[in-house]
Amino acid sequence: MSIQTFAYQLAQKIQKEHGIKISRSHIYELIALNQGYRSYNSFVAQNLLLDCEYDVSEEYHEHELLNLLTLDILKNPPKTDYANYDDDAIHWDNYESRELLEKIKIFIERVQLLLKQKISEEMYFHIAKLVVRELLSLNLSYLNFSYFRQRIAFLSFQNGLIDPDSLDDEIYSFENADSSSTTSFIDIEENLEQIEDYAKERNNLDAYAVLASYYRYLANQIAPYGRQGSTFGSTWDNQKQKYVKSQKTTDNIKQYEELIKLANFYEEFIKFAPANIAEIDMDADGETVYKQFLYLCNRGDLDAIETFLYQKIFKNSGEAWVYIYLAQLLNTDFTKDDFRAYNAYTGEEYDDYGPMEIAGREAIQYAIHLEQLNDEKDQLARKIAQDLFEKI
């Protein structure tokens, strides 16, 4: 089933059961809400939908809760009598039930906002309940480019062969609230044409970054240690005490260069728009490094701001104070010392036992001897910082 078909059928079901007309565009908004997005436009701007399945073969505990849920229960959830606790009974004040009740309230508010009709509270409740029930059976599989880009940012493509499933390893994994999002190079390979079209049509920087990394991954499969450290299929000759090239070597080198060329092509789109510090090319010229850091600093990346300040990447003291003030608005104060003592063996907070180490940072104005601004320039720096903060 396509997402368009699901939206059409759900709109028809709402009209049939409750006599209320709702457009498919409104259903799309509710689908996006269910995935944790403010709007459907926001959802499609960040994700490429790969598959859509509607499966009613299984029922979950949420279905049982929805069957029993009334408007009165929603407004005044019964409290569990722990003196006569029954493990098999429905408990409306446990975590799972409270989560469902909160979800229903959110959907009621959104349906009211979308329909803008003067119908009863009871009707809005039943429509929201129907929508939530149907969405339990909707399984979406999609590629979240921002999430995938973050996962691959720390991969080294010249430090050994990368397993195509390596992103499932603990070393690269981190919590993803979106379980429907898919993240592997195999997924990229299977949907490459769609991804290339998506990146071009939407000029999506995260999609370009994913494509660049995919081609570097393919190059890694040929030359795990880069252009200088890999054999490209050459074989070792004991008599000559060196690697001997073959036609396979020549072909592999040619293919490698083509893949690197493609990676470089896509990286040009994101040259001045890194996702994090890991994507910054510290070997590039000073102006490029400066622009890359500035991009992250303007987005409120505190790691980037810290490096920007302490490594003196800024161009003048006024600019430095802008990002000091921006960091303060983001609840980090670089004008104060921030040190901690920890156990050198365990890394835990120091408790007077074992060897002690100190980590942290000195106040920025002392660490780099940053000069204070006069009142006029200081007010300007604070204003610029506030403007940047409001755009984050």
19-54 residue pLDDT tens: 999 999 999 999 999 999 989 999 998 899 988 999
Structure confidence by residue, pLDDT tens digits, 248-289: 999 999 999 999 999 999 999 999 999 899 889 888 899 999
Does residue 350 or residue 37 have the better pLDDT? 37
Structural domain contains residue 258: yes
127 and 164 within one domain: no
- Domain end (from 219, 243, 270): 270
Tokens representing 10 are 């759900």
Within this chain, do residues 317 and 356 fall inside the same structural domain, yes or no?
yes
Question: What pTM did the predictor assign?
Answer: 0.75
Query: Which of 236, 270, 304 lies at the terminal end of a domain, its last residue?
Result: 270
Residues 192 and 119 in one domain: no
| Three-point CA angle 330, 333, 339, nearest 5° | 130
Residue 22: closest CA among 117, 115, 131: 115
Final residue before a domain boundary, out of 209, 243, 270: 270
**What is the mean pLDDT of the segment spanning 218-223?**
94
For residue 185, being part of any structural domain is answered with yes
Residues of the chain with pLDDT > 70: what percent? 92
Indicate whether 175 pLDDT > 50: no
Does 149 lie in the same domain as 132? no
What is the predicted pLDDT for the residue at 108? 96
CB contact at 8 A, 310 and 368? yes
Residue 270: both structure tokens together:
């994101």
pLDDT above 90: percentage of residues in the chain:
61
Q: Which amino acid belongs to residue 124?
A: Y
- Residue 219 inside a domain? The answer is yes
- Please give the residue range of the domain that contains residue 37: 3-136
Structural domain count, the chain: 3
- Verify that 257 and 311 share a domain, yes or no: no
Say whether both 349 and 377 belong to one domain.
yes
Q: How far apart are CA 82 and CA 190, in angstroms?
A: 53
pLDDT band of 348, cuts 50, 70, 90: confident
